[in-house]
Amino acid sequence: MISKLKKAKKRCINYRKRLLEISQKVQALHVGGSFSSVEAMDVVYNVLKKKNDKVILSKGHCGIIQYIILEDHKIISKKLLNSYCQPNGKLGVHPEVFTRGIEASTGSLGHGLAIAAGMAIANRKNKIFVVLSDGELMEGSVWETVLIISSLNLNNIIIVIDNNDLQSATRATNTHPSLYPIKEKFINFGWDSEYCDGHNSFDIYKKISKKKKNKPFALISKTIKGYPISFMKDVPMWHYRSPNKTEYKQSLKELEKYEK
Amino acid sequence: MRNKFSEELVKIANKNKSVHIVVADISPAGSMEKFQKKFKNRFINVGVSEQAMIGIAAGLSLQKKIVFAYTIANFSLYRPFEMIRNDLCYQKLPVTIVGMGSGTIYANLGGTHLTQEDVSVARSIPNMQILIPCDPDELSECIKYCAKNKKGPIYLKIGKSGEKNFTRNSEKWAFGKIRKIKSGYKTAIISCGPIIRYAFGAINNSSKDSVSIYSAHTLKPFDYNGLKKIFNKYKTIIVLEDHSYIGGLGSIIKESAYELKFKGKIHHLALKDDFLKEYSSQENLLKKHGITEKKIRKLIYK
């Protein structure tokens, strides 16, 4: 476990590099939100997930990061990933259940958690991991399901909320200040919940490992959209934009530096 | 019909441990009580949360369970529409969405509880199948099909309570086939759902030999071959449905009439494109929409 965690930083940098590489071939992709969720996705897939556990990316717009991890696991081929958003390609922005390794099609926010709940009912022995965006918590369907999950004692559900505070153009702190505090809301809905530094793989792992066994768990992962690229960090424009050539080179340089 | 649904589902669930039902705030004291008591772990009441009902049904189905999602029609189809489209139809999951008390059945509850455009809405989603049984016996056949179905989601539009059986001596039910319920030589009434009782009510001694009655229980995929045979046999066709004239059975038949070059007459009795109010009874509401047995009788003699 520890050795896997020690290699997390290197993996996360490689995932980001691969994403940037793909970004040069497509008109637009969700760099910002993908970069903010890399560490959480990495810990879930590479440290926590056991064979029959399920992972649902409810913030489907960051499907590219899930595909990159599946490629790393050799579940999908390099050739398939290279067809991402290309003519006649089999992969689009949002994950599709028809792709190997993808458990559910997502894309419209507020769907993944209920699907996970159904899976958790059918599959109580295994864990169901769900990665949500913080903006997604504005969807009423999320709270319908949050209430049901704890009421049905679906304690095998672990969700990670990518709390970068940015939607496509606005900041939740400004538009929905009452979204905060998030942790207390989950606790009051009968869940166990904790905050973590969403760019610290050890912290993500530690908080999930310490979850109460008799409750579903919500990890609020404090992240920065576009992390760790200086000109992308916390800038709304990078929700949906591909870097140009200069920005691409600059990003790669920054990632090299970040690695050291 | 809701009692029949529950009886039939208990039978199937007895044999097949994979059968699950997700309901949204259906009174356990009602028709579903037996299922809930017998199969506690396979009965999931999500409460007043229809979006979650469909999402959870999708999750169960992704784990290869046989799933029914059940509540009053307006709540089962309209409220969670996007979950039905994305989670069920897009992922092609064989979940049966049961719309109970559909059409104008809940007239006294007012327009919020009516589904006068459900078929039109459901029909336009790719991968969706639609079944509308006309009586409890036909419903039994539909449920058996639903439990075996692997093709994709089904919208099963059903009545509520007190429906009579009309199909006991009719030809065998088959998925996707228009079914002749009663034979006659001159006029065909094609209907779907419990409103078929109006067709039977309209026949009297002098017309009983001349009128055929068909149940078009499978709206999607539609039996165009069966319809072609009906077009070849009759000069007058009366379409009767508890649904808006937009996008339902009548629309299908009139579109096909052009394609199949039907030369006869088609009379279409359906709901107007309007939220008409009549809280006293379904019969009185249908009357405001121009649907009465008397009118059908007149059309038979036209």
- pLDDT (tens digit, 9 = 90+) per residue, A153-191? 999 999 999 999 988 888 999 999 999 999 999 999 999
Residue A115 is nearest to which of B44, B49, B58, comparing CB atoms?
Answer: B58
Across the interface, whether the CB atoms of A115 and B52 are under 8 A apart is answered: no
**Residues of A numbered 93-132 whose beta carbons fall under 8 angstroms of chain B's beta carbons: which are they?**
97, 103-105, 107-108, 110-111, 113-123
Across the interface, whether the CB atoms of B59 and A147 are under 8 A apart is answered: no
Residue B141's pLDDT is 98
Q: Given CB atoms, is B158 within the 8 Å cutoff of chain A?
A: no
Strand partners, B266: B237
Across the interface, whether the CB atoms of B52 and A105 are under 8 A apart is answered: no
What tens digit of pLDDT does each residue of A45-65 get? 999 999 999 999 999 999 999
pLDDT band at A240 (very low <50, low <70, confident <90, very high): confident
CATH number of the domain at B179-301, out of 3.40.50.2300, 3.40.50.300, 3.40.50.920, 3.90.226.10? 3.40.50.920
Residue A115 is nearest to which of B47, B49, B55, comparing CB atoms?
Answer: B55
CATH topology for A2-259 is Rossmann fold (3.40.50)
**Strand B211-215's sheet: what is its strand order?**
B179-182, B211-215, B187-191, B236-244, B265-271
Query: Mapped to the 3 state alphabet, what secondary structure does chain B carry?
Result: CHHHHHHHHHHHHHHCCCEEEEECCCCCCCCCHHHHHHCHHHEEECCCCHHHHHHHHHHHHHCCCEEEEEEEHHHHHHCCHHHHHHHHHHCCCCEEEEEECCECCCHHHCHHHCECCHHHHHHCCCCCEEECCCCHHHHHHHHHHHHHCCCCCEEEECCCCCCCCCCCCCCCCCCCCCEEEECCCCEEEEECCCCHHHHHHHCCCCCCCCEEEEECCEEECCCHHHHHHHHHHCCEEEEEEEEECCCCHHHHHHHHHHHCCCCCEEEEEEECCCCCCCCCCHHHHHHHCCCCHHHHHHHHHC
Across the interface, whether the CB atoms of A123 and B63 are under 8 A apart is answered: yes
Residue B29's pLDDT is 57
Across the interface, whether the CB atoms of B59 and A145 are under 8 A apart is answered: no
What is the rounded distance in angstroms from the CA atom of residue B9 to the CA atom of residue B24?
Answer: 17
- For tokens 């903010």, name the residue: A36
Q: Which residues of B touch A140 (CB under 8 A)?
A: 51
Residue B204's pLDDT is 87
What is the rounded distance in angstroms from the CA atom of residue B240 to the CA atom of residue B114?
Answer: 17
Across the interface, whether the CB atoms of B52 and A114 are under 8 A apart is answered: yes
Q: Given CB atoms, is B51 within the 8 Å cutoff of chain A?
A: yes
The one-letter amino acid at B126:
P
Q: Concatenated DSSP letters for A37-76? A: HHHHHHHIIIII--TT-EEEESSGGGHHHHHHHHHHTTSS
Residue B30's pLDDT is 67
Residues of chain B below pLDDT 50: none
Residue A28's pLDDT is 76
Which one of A129, A144, A151, A154 would you mutate to disrupt binding with B, by most B Cβ within 10 Å of its Cβ? A144
Size of interface A-B (CB pairs under 8 A): 90
Q: Which residues contact B83 (CB under 8 A, 6 or more apart)?
A: A111, A114, A141, B51, B54, B55, B58
Dig out the tokens for A17 from the structure: 């590099």
Across the interface, whether the CB atoms of A104 and B62 are under 8 A apart is answered: yes
What tens digit of pLDDT does each residue of B73-115 get? 999 999 999 999 999 999 999 999 999 999 999 999 999 999 9
**Stretch(es) of chain B classified as CATH 3.40.50.920:** 179-301
**Stretch(es) of chain B classified as CATH 3.40.50.970:** 2-157
CA nearest to B49, candidates A104, A143, A154, A128: A143
CATH topology for B2-157 is Rossmann fold (3.40.50)
- Nearest-Cα residue of chain A relative to residue B46: A148
CA nearest to A39, candidates A222, A171, A167, A240: A222
Across the interface, whether the CB atoms of B44 and A119 are under 8 A apart is answered: no
